[in-house]
Amino acid sequence: MSNSALVLAPPTRAAAQPVANPRAPRRWQWPLGAVLPLALLALWEILARTGALPPNLLPAPSKVLATIAELARTGELWPHLGLTLARVGAGFALGSLAATALGALTGYAPLARRLLDPLLQGVRNIPSLAWVPLFILWMGIYETSKVVLIAVGVFFPVYLGLMSGVQGVDRKLVEVGRMYRLSGLELVRRVFLPATLPAYLVGLRNGLGLGWMFVVAAEIMGANKGLGFLLVDGQMTGRPQTILASILLFAVLGRTTDAGLAWLSRRLLRWQDTHGSGPS
């Protein structure tokens, strides 16, 4: 057998491949996302103008936008808009704070989970409208009952997201942190916070979405201002353009606030190297 040394050829340098800019596709994200809604609006406008859709039931989008513009011009829109935003903001803050405290507690402490989680899961399955008469009886038709109803809607997605996030923290990471004698706060900051933050932020976004759904129920139950009141007023007075204007404003506000939370999530999770953090 030959003892000649096996000579390996030096590796050839691969041709440099152009690296795609991960930020470039984001320029097309909003335009592409707007294609389908704009196409549906154009089709709706055509059908309404040709008489295929009854104008007394489904007016053209141009009439809906004209209604919004008129409400804004006369100043009638802004108190309704501001009050709805304030209610959602207050309910979101209250529900998120309560959910953060209880979600962290039940996720970390098995005894607290066994005591509290069955009750909370039972309450979670109660339909939102079932709370309305009880909250009116307890708190009247004032702002408190509306904010509490919105907080109930926000609470459960945030609570479930944080509890499952805390439960899903790798036990080995916690044990390593304790081996290095990390204090309780350092353990939370270095182990639990990075591990639970993605699930918590998803819970916040889901909670905010439910907050916008619950504010409609809250404003229908006796408000004299707010986008929900405008919606009911349009129904009572036979103005479908006002109903659709309210629905459109709810959609725009909900999408805008969700986009704000999505932007915050991207900023807080920049350290992640995941498939979802790449170009979309």
Query: DSSP string of the chain?
Result: ---PPPPPPPPPPPPPPPPPPTTGGGGGHHHHHHHHHHHHHHHHHHHHHTTSS-TTTS--HHHHHHHHHHHHHHT-HHHHHHHHHHHHHHHHHHHHHHHHHHHHHHHH-HHHHHHHHHHHHHHHTS-HHHHHHHHHHHHTTSHHHHHHHHHHHHHHHHHHHHHHHHHTS-HHHHHHHHHTT--HHHHIIIIIHHHHHHHHHHHHHHHHHHHHHHHHHHHHTT-SSSHHHHHHHHHHTT-HHHHHHHHHHHHHHHHHHHHHHHHHHHHHTTT--SGGGS--
> Cβ neighbours of residue 150 under 8 Å, at least 6 residues apart?
87, 88, 90, 91, 92, 94, 95, 211, 214, 215, 218
Local confidence band at 103 (pLDDT 50, 70, 90 cut-offs): very high
Task: Indicate if the pLDDT at residue 79 is higher than 90.
Answer: yes
Distance of CA 272 to the CA centre of its chain: 20
Query: Please, which pLDDT band fits residue 278 given cuts at 50, 70 and 90?
Result: low
For residue 8, pLDDT beyond 70: no
Write the pLDDT tens digit of every residue in 197-227.
Answer: 999 999 999 999 999 999 998 888 777 889 9
Residue 85 scores a pLDDT above 90: yes
Highest mean pLDDT among 48-52, 119-123, 182-186: 119-123
Considering the entire predicted model, what is its pTM? 0.81
Q: How confident is the model at residue 9 (pLDDT cuts 50, 70, 90)?
A: very low
Mean pLDDT is lowest, of 60-64, 115-119, 260-264, 267-271, for: 267-271
N-term to C-term CA, the chain: 57
Q: Does residue 3 register a pLDDT over 60?
A: no
Alpha carbon distances (Å) from 81 to 16, 145, 227, 229: 54, 19, 6, 11
Backbone phi and psi for residue 224, each to the nearest 5 degrees, phi listed first: -110, 5
- The pLDDT value recorded for residue 151 is 96
157-173 average pLDDT score = 88
Model pLDDT, residue 173: 76
59-269: CATH number: 1.10.3720.10
Sequence-ordered list of residues with C-beta below 8 angstroms from that of 95, at least 6 positions apart, any chain: 150, 151, 152, 153, 154, 155, 158, 207, 211
Domain boundaries, the chain: 59-269
Q: Read off the pLDDT of residues 242-273 as tens digits, 9 standing for 90 and up.
A: 999 999 999 999 999 999 999 998 888 887 76
